[in-house]
A and B are shown apart, each in its own frame.
Chain A
C-alpha cells in the first residue's frame, strides 16, 4: 500500500451527481489535483469522475458548464487522465466555444465567464499535450481545425484569451493554421479598426493583437519564410517612412541636413514596376485636413500602430532563423527623434498657431513612442546594439528640450520638461538601458545634459498659476489685488500644501538612470557631487521604509562602488542612515581565505588520501564533489582536526592561525588574525610544517608550526607548505 494521507476520489463522486453545482469547488479541486488521489483510484472511480466532468461540459446551463471547465482543468493535471480523456474534453470545450455560450445580442457576464474559462481550460490542455509526439498526433492534431475555427469565431467576444491561444498556435502549428490565414487576418483587422482600435485596448491586449497580426504576415508561409519576413519588414519600414513624410507637407524638412541623410538611408518605394506591384501598404492612406489641427494626430496614431507592429516584427519569437536589418530599424527611430521644429520650421503658408502647436504635440507623441521601442532594443538585441551606441546616445541628448540664451548658454526649458514629463522619463529610461550595455564610456558630454534634466525633475515645485508667476514676488502681490485673492491666499499661508513633489515613477526612473550612469562612466566631480547629494537626500527620505525600493538600493550600492574621480566616499554617511548587509563588506573588509587541509567531515578527498577543504563550512565553495579515490572514505574517517600553531622565531608568541574559522576583519593593509579558540588535537596524524615570513627591515620571523606527531600515513605527501614571502630589497624598483 502506498501513501494513505489523501482523500480518495470516492468521496468526491457523490457530490458530482446530476450536474449539481452545489458542491464547494474549493474543497473538490484540491482533492482532484492530488496526484495520489488519481493514481490510487480504482479504474471505475476514475471513469466515474471523468465522465461526470464531461457531462458537466455538455450541459446547457452556463454555470454548470463553467463548473465543468474548472473540474476538467484540474483533472487534466494528471497524465493518466490526459491520455484517456483529453480528446473528449477538447471536443466538448470546442463545442462550448463554438456555441459562443449562446451569447446573442446582449452579453451576459455569466456566459462570458463560462466562455473565457472554457478557452483557458482548452489552452491548458493543449499546453499539456504540446511537444509530446504521440499525444499531439493522436489527440490534438485531428481536432485543431475545429479549435481554430471556434477561436476565430469568438475573437471579437473575448479577444484576449482567444489571441493568447492563437499566439501559441502561430508558433507551433503553422501548417494547420494555414487555411485560416485570411479569416484570422480579417478578425484582427476588425479589432485593430485601422488606427482606431489599438489605443482602446489595454497594453496586454495591444501586444497580443499586434503580435498575432505580424506573425500571420509571414509565419504561415509554406516556403521561403525568411525572405518573406524580410520583405514584409522592409515594406513596413517603407510604409512608416511614407507616413512620416506627411510632415513634409507642413514642415520644411529640407532645412535639416541630418534628417535628410537619415531619410535617404531608409529603404524607399521600389522604382521597379514588378516590385512596386508587390508592395501593398498594410493600412489605407490617411485623410488629413490642414485646416483641422486635430487631424494631424492621425499621423501619430498611425505611426504608433506601425511602431507597435515593428516592435512585434523584431521581438516575436520566430520558428525560423531570419535576417533582420537592425540598421534600418535604428535609423527610423532616430529619424523620429531627430524631427524638431527648431531645425525643420513650419512652412510659411501655415501661420495658424494652433496647427503649429498640434504638429509639435504630435511630434512629441511620436518621439515618446519611438523611445519606448528604443528602451526595449537593448534587451532584444543586447551587444549587437553596441556598434550604434554613440549615435543613439547623441540622439537622446538632442531630445532634451533646450534653448540657447543670448549669452550663448544652453539651458533646459523647464516649462517644457514639466509638460512633457512622460517623454522625459522615456528618454532617461532609454538612456539607462543603453548605458547598461557597457562601461568606461569615454565621451560623457551627451550624458551631462541628461543628468541635468534628471536632477531637475526630482525637484519640488509650486504650480504655475499665471504667466507672471515666474516673476517671483510680483505675482503674489497681484493675487492680493485680483478677484482670486481668497482661494489663492492659501498659496501664501500654506505654500507646502501646493508643492508638487516628484512622483514615484519619476523617482524610480531617476534612480535607475543615476545607478547606471555612476556605473558606466566617470562623471566630472561637480555632477558626481550633485548625484551623491540626491542619493543622500533620497536615502534619508526613505530610510524608514520597511522594504527599501530596489532601485534606490541599487543606486546606493553603485554610489559606493563607483566613487568617481574624487574618491569621496559616501560610505560613512550612508552607513549611519541605513543598515545594509552590503555595506558591511565595505566596513569590514576581508581577504579570501587560502585553500587548506580539511578539518571538517565533508571536505574533498585528494588522490593522496588527504581530505581538503576550502575555507570554512559557511563559505560557498563547492566542497562536496569527490575526486576519484577508492580509499577516500577510510582516509576521511581518519582525518580530523589538526592543531596549528604559529610561533615566532623565538618561540615566544603562539597563535592559532590555521584553524577553520579564522577570518581577518580589519582594514585592507593591516589585517590581524582573529583570536580563536585553540583547536583540539584529536588526530592520529600530525605534521610539522613551518611557515616562515620575513619582512624587510624587521628582524622578526613568524613561523607557523603544525604539530603532527602521530602521522602514520607515510604515503601522504600533504603538508601545510612553507610560505616565504621575502620582500626585502624588492621595493627598490
Chain B
C-alpha cells in the first residue's frame, strides 16, 4: 500500500499549468497533468482507467483527464462556471456533483451524462462540497455562509415529486464557508466539521443537524481536516499556521473525556496555546488552503496559497517532506490510497482497450423520454475502466491456486463408476468361467454334441410316427 497526494493550482503563472500526483511516503512522482488550473478538481483513483475531472476557472467547462495522459481527453460544456466539483461513487455507479457560481447544485450521472438535478441551493457561489464515505450524504457549503446537508439519493430521483430538499440547513456561520470534513461511521454516527472565514469551526451531528461543538480560532480558517479516528482536528489558518485541537482531553479528575459535544465552545486561539505546542508552522506566512490527513493519522499534508505542499509529521510537528511546488495557490488537494500489488487489467488482457469516452454531460435537465429509456453506458468487462465500476471484487482472470485436495476428491468420486462396473464385469466373467470348468469336469462338448444329434434324430423319428398316426386317426374320424 502506498498513499499519494493529488494537488492542483487554482491559477497558474506558468504556461503548463501543471498539477501533480505524488507519493507522500517516498520520492515517487506518479503523474502530472497539463493545463490543469482548476477552481476545483476531483480524481477517481490511481491506476489505469481512472479519471480526473477539473472545473476550469472562468469558463463553463469541465476537463476530463485519463490516467497516464498529461493533456485533457475530453472537454465538456456545463451550464455555468463551477466553483466546486466532486466525483461520487455509489455502489459501482459514478455521479458528478458540481456547485455553480450562482449557487446551484448540479448532479450528473456519468454512465448516461444525464443532468439529474439542477437545484438552487445557495444564494452565493458554492464554495465546497463533500460526500460521506458511502456516497449517501452530500454536504454543500456556500459563500452565503450556509451549510446544506443533502441525501444524494433524493437529488438523483427521477420522480421529482416532492422536490428534493436538504435534510438540514445549518446557518450558524456568519462568513463564507471554506471547508467541510465528514467523519466515517454508520448513518447515525457521521459527524460534520465546517470551517469558515468567521474564524470558527463547527461540529455537527449529520443525522439530526444538531450543533455539537464550536471551535474558536480567532482568525479566518481556510482549511480543515479531521483525524481518521477522530482524535484531532486540524485547522489551516489564513496566517499560515496549522492548529491542532485534541478532541479528547484529560480532565481535572484525571479522566479522559471528550472535548466535544453538548454545544460546547472550545477556544483554540493562539492565546490558549502560549507555548505554541499545538501548531505547525511549515507554511510561514502563506495562508493554508488545503489540509488532508494520511490514512494512519500520522502525516498531515498541507498546501498554501504560494503553491507549496508539505507533508508534516503530526507528532513531531515537523516537515517530513516538501513536494514539488505548483505555480499558483493550491485549490484542491486529495489523498489517495493506491494498491501497489494491483495488476493492471491491461497487463492481463491481450486486448487492452483504451477507456471509452464518457458521454457528454447534458446541459439541460433530463426529459421524460430520457427517463423512460435511461440509456446507460457500460464499459467492457476485463478493461481497466470496467473493473473500476465493477461490483465483483475478484478479478476473474487472476486464478487462485489449484485445489489438489478438491481435485483428488473429484477423481475418487468418478473412479467409483469404474470400480463398480469392473466388479460387475468380473462377476459375470467368473460365472462363465465356472460353467466352463463344470463342463470340462464331466463330459466334453463333443460328447454333448453327439448326444444332441442322437436325441434330435430320435425325436424326429418319433415326430414322424406321431404325424403318421395322427393322419390315420383323422382319416378314421372322417369315415365315421
* Chain A residues proximal to chain B, CB less than 8 Å: 21, 25-26, 29-30, 33, 63, 66, 70, 73-74, 77, 109-110, 113, 117, 127, 131, 133, 136, 171, 265, 317-328, 330-331, 378-391, 437-440, 442, 519, 561-562, 591-597, 604, 606-608, 610, 612, 614, 621-623, 625, 627-628, 646, 648, 653, 655, 657, 664, 668-673, 691, 693-695, 698, 700-702, 704, 716-719, 721-727, 730-733
| B25–A722 CB distance below 8 A | no
Q: Tell whether A133 pairs with B257 under 8 Å between CB atoms, given A30-B404, A390-B157.
A: no
Instruction: Provide the residues of chain B in CB contact with A595, threshold 8 Å.
Output: 227, 231-232, 297-298, 314-315
| B418–A110 CB distance below 8 A | yes
Name the segment of B67-75, B264-272, B326-334, B441-449 touching the other chain. B264-272
| A691–B250 CB distance below 8 A | yes
Q: How far is B60's CA from A475's CA once the two chains are assembled, in angstroms?
A: 77
Q: How far is B306's CA from A640's CA once the two chains are assembled, in angstroms?
A: 40
What's the least CB distance linking B95 to chain A, in Å? Answer: 7
| B375–A325 CB distance below 8 A | yes
| A319–B381 CB distance below 8 A | yes
Query: B228-240 vs A: 1/0 string, CB under 8 Å?
Result: 0111100000000
Which residues in chain B, 254-274, are within 8 Å of chain A measured between CB atoms? 254-259, 262-267, 272-273
| B374–A668 CB distance below 8 A | no
Q: Tell whether A628 pairs with B321 under 8 Å between CB atoms, given A607-B313, A723-B246.
A: yes
- Is B156 close to A, CB under 8 A? yes
| A33–B417 CB distance below 8 A | no
| A610–B315 CB distance below 8 A | yes
Which residues in chain B, 117-171, are within 8 Å of chain A measured between CB atoms? 135-137, 151, 153-154, 156-159, 167
Known A322-B377, A627-B313; 6 more pairs at CB < 8 Å:
A319-B380, A442-B154, A671-B256, A693-B251, A730-B264, A732-B265
What's the least CB distance linking A678 to chain B, in Å? Answer: 15
| A325–B374 CB distance below 8 A | yes
Query: B28-71 vs A: 1/0 string, CB under 8 Å?
Result: 00000000000000000000000000000000000000000000
In-complex Cβ contact of A591 among B1, B159, B248, B377 (8 A)? B248
Q: How far is B277's CA from A719's CA once the two chains are assembled, in angstroms?
A: 9
In-complex Cβ contact of A383 among B90, B151, B187, B349 (8 A)? B90
What's the least CB distance linking A712 to chain B, in Å? Answer: 17
Instruction: Provide the residues of chain B in CB contact with A646, threshold 8 Å.
Output: 250, 254
Which residues in chain B, 374-392, are within 8 Å of chain A measured between CB atoms? 374-383, 386, 389, 391
Chain A residue nearest in CB terms to B421? A110
| A731–B381 CB distance below 8 A | no
In-complex Cβ contact of B255 among A437, A612, A670 (8 A)? A670
Instruction: Provide the residues of chain B in CB contact with A621, threshold 8 Å.
Output: 296-297
What is the count of residue pairs linking A and B with beta-carbon distances less than 8 angstroms? Answer: 303
- Is B212 close to A, CB under 8 A? no
21 contacts between A and B (CB under 8 A): A136-B350, A322-B378, A322-B380, A323-B375, A325-B373, A327-B371, A328-B374, A379-B391, A383-B92, A390-B157, A519-B186, A562-B186, A592-B227, A595-B227, A604-B298, A607-B316, A608-B313, A672-B254, A694-B252, A700-B252, A704-B250
| A384–B111 CB distance below 8 A | yes
Q: How far is B275's CA from A437's CA once the two chains are assembled, in angstroms?
A: 50
- Is B320 close to A, CB under 8 A? yes
| A320–B380 CB distance below 8 A | yes
Q: How far is B416's CA from A113's CA once the two chains are assembled, in angstroms?
A: 10
| A655–B315 CB distance below 8 A | no
* Chain B residues proximal to chain A, CB less than 8 Å: 1, 25-27, 89-95, 109, 111, 116, 135-137, 151, 153-154, 156-159, 167, 186-188, 207, 214, 227, 229-232, 246, 248-259, 262-267, 272-273, 275, 277-278, 295-298, 313-321, 348-351, 356, 371-383, 386, 389, 391, 396-397, 399, 402, 404, 407-408, 411-412, 414-415, 417-418, 421-422
| A110–B417 CB distance below 8 A | yes
Please indicate which of the listed interface residues A30, A171, A385, A386 has the most CB atoms of chain B within 10 Å of its own CB: A386
Q: Tell whether A324 pairs with B378 under 8 Å between CB atoms, given A383-B92, A595-B315, A727-B266.
A: yes
In-complex Cβ contact of B231 among A77, A593, A628, A672 (8 A)? A593
| B378–A318 CB distance below 8 A | yes
Q: How far is B267's CA from A77's CA once the two chains are assembled, in angstroms?
A: 67
Instruction: Provide the residues of chain A in CB contact with B157, threshold 8 Å.
Output: 386-387, 389-390
Q: What 3 A-B pairs come out closest when comparing CB atoms?
A: A383-B93, A327-B374, A730-B265
Please indicate which of the listed interface residues A117, A133, A621, A701 has the most CB atoms of chain B within 10 Å of its own CB: A621
Q: Tell whether A653 pairs with B254 under 8 Å between CB atoms, given A110-B421, A725-B266.
A: yes
Q: Tell whether A440 pairs with B315 under 8 Å between CB atoms, given A591-B248, A628-B26, A730-B267.
A: no
Instruction: Provide the residues of chain A in CB contact with B90, threshold 8 Å.
Output: 382-383, 386, 437
| A323–B377 CB distance below 8 A | yes
| B321–A438 CB distance below 8 A | no
Chain A residue nearest in CB terms to B116? A387
| A33–B380 CB distance below 8 A | no
Q: Tell whether A324 pairs with B315 under 8 Å between CB atoms, given A109-B417, A691-B250.
A: no
| B320–A321 CB distance below 8 A | no
What's the least CB distance linking B400 to chain A, in Å? Answer: 12
| B411–A29 CB distance below 8 A | yes
Instruction: Provide the residues of chain B in CB contact with A378, threshold 8 Å.
Output: 91
In-complex Cβ contact of A440 among B187, B246, B297, B377 (8 A)? B187
What's the least CB distance linking A144 to chain B, in Å? Answer: 14
| A723–B377 CB distance below 8 A | no
Please indicate which of the listed interface residues B111, B135, B315 has the most CB atoms of chain A within 10 Å of its own CB: B315
| A387–B158 CB distance below 8 A | yes
Instruction: Provide the residues of chain B in CB contact with A597, threshold 8 Å.
Output: 315
Q: Tell whether A440 pairs with B264 under 8 Å between CB atoms, given A113-B417, A131-B350, A383-B90.
A: no
What's the least CB distance linking B356 to chain A, in Å? Answer: 5
Q: How far is B356's CA from A327's CA once the two chains are assembled, in angstroms?
A: 22
Instruction: Provide the residues of chain B in CB contact with A26, threshold 8 Å.
Output: 408, 411-412
Q: How far is B111's CA from A606's CA once the two chains are assembled, in angstroms?
A: 44
| B318–A440 CB distance below 8 A | no
Instruction: Provide the residues of chain A in CB contact with B256, threshold 8 Å.
Output: 591, 664, 671-673
Instruction: Provide the residues of chain B in CB contact with A322, threshold 8 Å.
Output: 377-378, 380
Q: How far is B374's CA from A385's CA once the two chains are assembled, in angstroms?
A: 10
